Structure 1
Amino acid sequence: MSSTILNFATKYSLYSGSIICSLGIVGNVINILVFTQLKVFRDNRCAFYLTIESIFNFLYMLFGISVNILISIYGDDETGRSLIWCKLRYIIAQTLTSCSFTMVCCTAADEYFSTNYRCNLRQTCTLRLARYLTFILIFIWTCHSIIFGYFSNIMPSIGCTISNENYRQYATFFFYPVLGGVLPIVISSFFSMLAYRNVRRLVRRQIPIIRRRLDRQITAMVLLRIVVFICLTAPSIIYRIYAINTPVLRNTSAQYAIVRLLQIIAFSLLNLNHMSSFYVFIMSSARFRHQVKYFLIKKCWKHIRCCHTENLISPGNAQIFNSNIEHEQNN
């Protein structure tokens, strides 16, 4: 029975992880390109935060693919045999996840300030301030994750876990339930609802219609993103708290197999959270769908065709091509 559950868990982790990571890489790359290349998003602070979130989600997907490769080769993620990988996986996973969650909160908060009817609040948040704040938050989370990895060790018959009792209490009662769970959920939910209320009042204010449409678009995108964020984050947080406080010995095969399956399901939901932003934006905003279509067809495909056309022109034909252009211009 336990071997059947473990076999199913391994196959589920490999196949679901590969599909989620592949879709996540494609979606986050499109997010990054659209938010950085289209002029309408270029100087928008919310788009900047969404870009940074997509970058961390993209790196997390690459990290997930490396874990799936280890599972497909060795049958597990190797954290129970390699101390370096045990510590490194904690550091990488915590840094990428914490920074991604933080960017979700920053996006919701900035959308509230940018749509606020008070001019001083709208002018307080600038793109330069957003860049400084992002750099500081990334630095803080990186240092925090390094400390997290420092207290991670391989325990006999348990595997890779937090070995320090004080830090285990900190992770159990503060980091996972508060910093990694309740706090980002409350912050993102609170500011997204306030931003939604602000957007409904935009009709009464003298704001250019292009800016009004952009605010409504981003608010709708962020609001649905927060809903998905809450639904997919809560199960993984609950599992982490349970796993730290009730470690299961590997020799108790039946219980270990069940816990292993729960772990894989919880982390697959977490992977969905890092993968889902692009697809949530596509579903929530018809305007974003048109923007993605415009970018892929008008910019990417046109650039590929131009490069292909230039490669087809031989040096001998290049002179004829240039002379024809000059003849047309003179006429």
Structure 2
Amino acid sequence: MSTDILKLAKQYSLYSGCILFTFGFIGNILNILVFTQLRLFRDNRTAFYLTVESINNFIYQFQTISVTILTLTYGDDATQRSLGWCKFRYMLSQILVLTSYYTLCLIAIDQFFSTNHQFRLRQMCTIKLARYITFISICIWIAHGILSGCFYDIQGSLGCVISNPIWQQYISSFFYPVLGGLLPIIITSLFSLLAFHNVRRIVRRQIPIARRRLDQQLTAMVLIRAVIAACFMSPFTIYRIYITKFPVSQNQSMQYAIARLIQSVFLSLINIHFSASFYIFLILSSRFRRQVRFLLVKKCWQRLKYLFHLNNNQINPENAEAFRTDLELA
């Protein structure tokens, strides 16, 4: 029975991992293109943060598919056979997960300040400051990940686990429930709601309509993203708190098999968080759909036609038309 459950867990991990990798690869690439290629989003701090998050999620997709391939090839993720991979895998996972979570927090905080009715607060946030904060944040999570990786070790039938009891207590009592759990959920949800409240009052201020529409669009996208992220993050966080406090040995065949199946399901939810932002924006924002359509048809397709000489007879200036259309998307 335990063998069948383990087989089911491996098959679920394989198929869900491949499907989510495919969707995540395409979605994160399109996110990066939309937020970097459209003039509407240039020098916009929220778009910058969303680009950073998409790049981070893109890297996470490759880390996840690597583990899936190892599991398919060797029957497990190989962390029980290589101490270096054991440390590196969990170190990289923590860096990418925390970078994603707290970049989402920075997005919500920045959106709150950029829509605030006080001009001083709006003026305080600049694209240069956003770059500095992002750089510092990533450095902090890299340092945290390296430190955490030092405490992972291979312990017999338990596999790759934290060997230091003090760090184990930190991980189970603070990292999973607070740093990687409640804190980013609370920060993102709170500031998204405050930004949404600001946007509802934005019509009373003398702000250009293009800027007003952009603020409304980005705030709605961030709020929806925050709610869905909280739903996907919570189950895995609860599971990791439990499994860190009560690790299951491979000698307990049935319990180990069930734990692996539960882990596979909750990991797939986390992977949805890293894969689905583009599709969430696409489904829930009609303006984002127009922006994606404009990017693919007016920019990417035109460049492909020019590259392969499929439109040699065209003499009309494309740049002026593209510029006008880009402004209309605002």
Using the size of structure 2 for normalisation, the TM-score is 0.93
Q: How do 1:206-217 and structure 2 match up within 5 A?
A: 206-217=206-217
Q: How far did 1:206 drift?
A: 0.5
* Counterpart residue number, 2:223: 223
Q: How do 1:292-303 and structure 2 match up within 5 A?
A: 292-303=292-303
Q: Give the letter aligned to residue 265 of structure 2.
A: I
Q: How far did 1:91 drift?
A: 1.1
SS of equivalent residue, structure 2 residue 80: coil
| Paired positions, count | 315
* Counterpart residue number, 1:49: 49
State the distance in 1 between where 2:216 and 2:19 align: 32
State the distance in 2 between where 1:178 and 1:148 align: 16
Q: How do 1:15-26 and structure 2 match up within 5 A?
A: 15-26=15-26
Q: How far did 1:43 drift?
A: 1.1
Q: How far did 1:276 drift?
A: 1.1
Q: How far did 1:172 drift?
A: 0.8
* Counterpart residue number, 1:143: 143
For the aligned residues, what is the CA RMSD? Answer: 1.5
* Counterpart residue number, 1:4: 4
Using the size of structure 1 for normalisation, the TM-score is 0.93
* Counterpart residue number, 2:106: 106
Deviations 1:272-308 (Å, cap 9, x if unpaired)? 1101110111112100000001101111111111111
Q: Give the letter aligned to residue 44 of structure 2.
A: N
Deviations 1:60-87 (Å, cap 9, x if unpaired)? 0011111111011111111111111100
Alignment of 1:63 onto 2:63? yes
* Counterpart residue number, 2:32: 32
Q: How far did 1:253 drift?
A: 0.7
SS of equivalent residue, structure 1 residue 62: helix
State the distance in 2 between where 1:290 and 1:173 align: 45
Q: Matched residues, percent identical? A: 55
State the distance in 1 between where 2:127 and 2:146 align: 29
Q: Give the letter aligned to residue 250 of structure 2.
A: R
* Counterpart residue number, 1:270: 270
SS of equivalent residue, structure 1 residue 177: helix
Q: Give the letter aligned to residue 302 of structure 1.
A: Q
State the distance in 2 between where 1:195 and 1:38 align: 23
State the distance in 2 between where 1:97 and 1:213 align: 31
State the distance in 2 between where 1:218 and 1:233 align: 22
Unmatched 5+ residue regions in structure 1?
Answer: 314-320, 326-331
State the distance in 2 between where 1:140 and 1:203 align: 39
State the distance in 2 between where 1:141 and 1:165 align: 21
Q: Give the letter aligned to residue 36 of structure 1.
A: T
State the distance in 2 between where 1:78 and 1:228 align: 32
State the distance in 2 between where 1:220 and 1:140 align: 29
SS of equivalent residue, structure 2 residue 117: coil
Alignment of 1:235 onto 2:235? yes
* Counterpart residue number, 2:185: 185
Q: How far did 1:257 drift?
A: 0.3
Q: How far did 1:220 drift?
A: 0.8
State the distance in 1 between where 2:46 and 2:21 align: 25
Alignment of 1:280 onto 2:280? yes
Q: Give the letter aligned to residue 23 of structure 1.
A: F
Deviations 1:309-330 (Å, cap 9, x if unpaired)? 17x99xxxxxxx9xx99xxxxx
* Counterpart residue number, 2:166: 166
Q: Give the letter aligned to residue 270 of structure 2.
A: L
Deviations 1:130-173 (Å, cap 9, x if unpaired)? 00000000001000000010000011110011110000001111
SS of equivalent residue, structure 1 residue 153: strand
Deviations 1:57-114 (Å, cap 9, x if unpaired)? 0000011111111011111111111111100001110111100101100000000000
Q: How far did 1:266 drift?
A: 1.1
* Counterpart residue number, 2:203: 203
Unmatched 5+ residue regions in structure 2?
Answer: 317-330
* Counterpart residue number, 1:318: none
Moved more, 110-119 or 278-287: 278-287
> After the TM superposition, which parts of structure 1 deviate over 4 Å for at least 4 consecutive aligned residues?
none
Q: How do 1:66-85 and structure 2 match up within 5 A?
A: 66-85=66-85
SS of equivalent residue, structure 1 residue 117: coil
State the distance in 2 between where 1:203 and 1:30 align: 31
Q: Give the letter aligned to residue 185 of structure 2.
A: I
Q: Give the letter aligned to residue 61 of structure 2.
A: M
Moved more, 66-75 or 105-114: 66-75
SS of equivalent residue, structure 1 residue 309: coil
Moved more, 244-253 or 286-295: 244-253
Q: Give the letter aligned to residue 232 of structure 2.
A: L
SS of equivalent residue, structure 1 residue 168: helix
Q: Give the letter aligned to residue 65 of structure 1.
A: I
SS of equivalent residue, structure 1 residue 251: coil
Deviations 1:210-260 (Å, cap 9, x if unpaired)? 000000000111111001100000011111111111111101111100001
Q: How far did 1:8 drift?
A: 0.5
Q: Give the letter aligned to residue 249 of structure 2.
A: L
* Counterpart residue number, 2:304: 304
